[in-house]
Structure 1
């Protein structure tokens, strides 16, 4: 039997709006309009509920903001770390595991990451959260390279090249069709690993792309 937390149930007298509805709308607002627009009253108006609904689920606006950061950590950072730590037969397979995050926005949402980085310009606490996330992501990718025999400095630099290239790709808002990008998959893998991918390696990732 699935146990439901009281906080996940609709507020009394309001059977349509849940805690998840508030968080989802706050995330959408953060991404589209920035952190200053994540306010209780405007969110409630969009949801068609009163402020009392908000305080049924959250102690304060800061509580909601903390939940947004927690969601970001549990998706964007957790996905990269988990895939970098996933067992792989080769470094090429390891890198392709991480590539899954760039290919599936359910794993890594670049718009949310950019919105959090913009938020960090206004908050020292969020800046520290960003710095910790970058360190955690880089550390997991570096350790992946080390497990596959790369020396400490080489693993560190390769992790930086792989991660910073992808984040820069998002920051520059480059518009490139997925088909065009994956057509260079073998060259990317050579660049990030120094090894030649097999046709089977490339086919493995293409199968992942096709399944999205």
Structure 2
């Protein structure tokens, strides 16, 4: 039997349904209902297309699940690592770069992160991906502190405090408005760095929040 490779273009007869449509709906379903609800038949019914449309773009359900995991990595983990590696004049500015991920869900989607962590309870492979992502995120933040002169152990612990505190916010599903959190921005920066932020540092981040 000749296998036709999955395509990026719309499937014939389903011109309005693209590969990205399948991925977007699968991501929405993962976040709202969990991984067990990400089923080809169910997604097809919601999109109003047949299963053949799915197999035009994907080899299997597992292929789709792999794409969801790749999307999660390429957004949530990539954003944290990229911002932790950004050049910054001071550790205050460096931490504020990472804070951008917590303040803008286009960079880091907490609901998706939580959904993938729930998925990991059912899959050893996803558990391994979560562990690797946490290590990559923590490693990038630790190196950020080291670049700014913190000793190895201090950099390690400060990275854990910064990262685990934020993940804890999501896991506990705290409903604190972002305005309330940023009202304590200077105190957070003192806690995470041991340095006093300038008014300009705080004002710059507040402008980032306002421009989202």
- Hey, what does 2:166 align to over in structure 1? 166
TM-score (norm 1): 0.97
Deviation at 1:8, TM superposition (A): 2.5
TM-score (norm 2): 0.97
- Hey, what does 2:3 align to over in structure 1? none
How many angstroms apart in 1 are the aligned matches of 2:134 and 2:58?
Answer: 28
- Hey, what does 1:34 align to over in structure 2? 34
- Hey, what does 2:113 align to over in structure 1? 113
Aligned positions, number: 207
Could you list the runs of 5+ residues in structure 1 that have no partner in the other structure?
1-5
- Hey, what does 1:98 align to over in structure 2? 98
Matched, 1:122 2:122: yes
1:1-212 correspondence runs (5 A) = 7-212=7-212
Q: For residues 7-46 of structure 1, what are the alpha-carbon distances to aligned partners after superposition, in whole Å with 9 as ceiling and x for unaligned?
A: 3311011110000000000000000100000000000000
How many angstroms apart in 2 are the aligned matches of 1:136 and 1:81?
Answer: 7
How many angstroms apart in 1 are the aligned matches of 2:201 and 2:43?
Answer: 46
Q: Moved runs in structure 1, 4+ residues, more than 2 A?
A: none
The CA RMSD measured in Å over matched residues stands at 0.7
How many angstroms apart in 1 are the aligned matches of 2:58 and 2:143?
Answer: 38
Could you list the runs of 5+ residues in structure 2 that have no partner in the other structure?
1-5
Deviation at 1:85, TM superposition (A): 0.2
Deviation at 1:133, TM superposition (A): 0.1
- Hey, what does 1:3 align to over in structure 2? none
Q: For residues 32-72 of structure 1, what are the alpha-carbon distances to aligned partners after superposition, in whole Å with 9 as ceiling and x for unaligned?
A: 10000000000000000000000000000000000000000
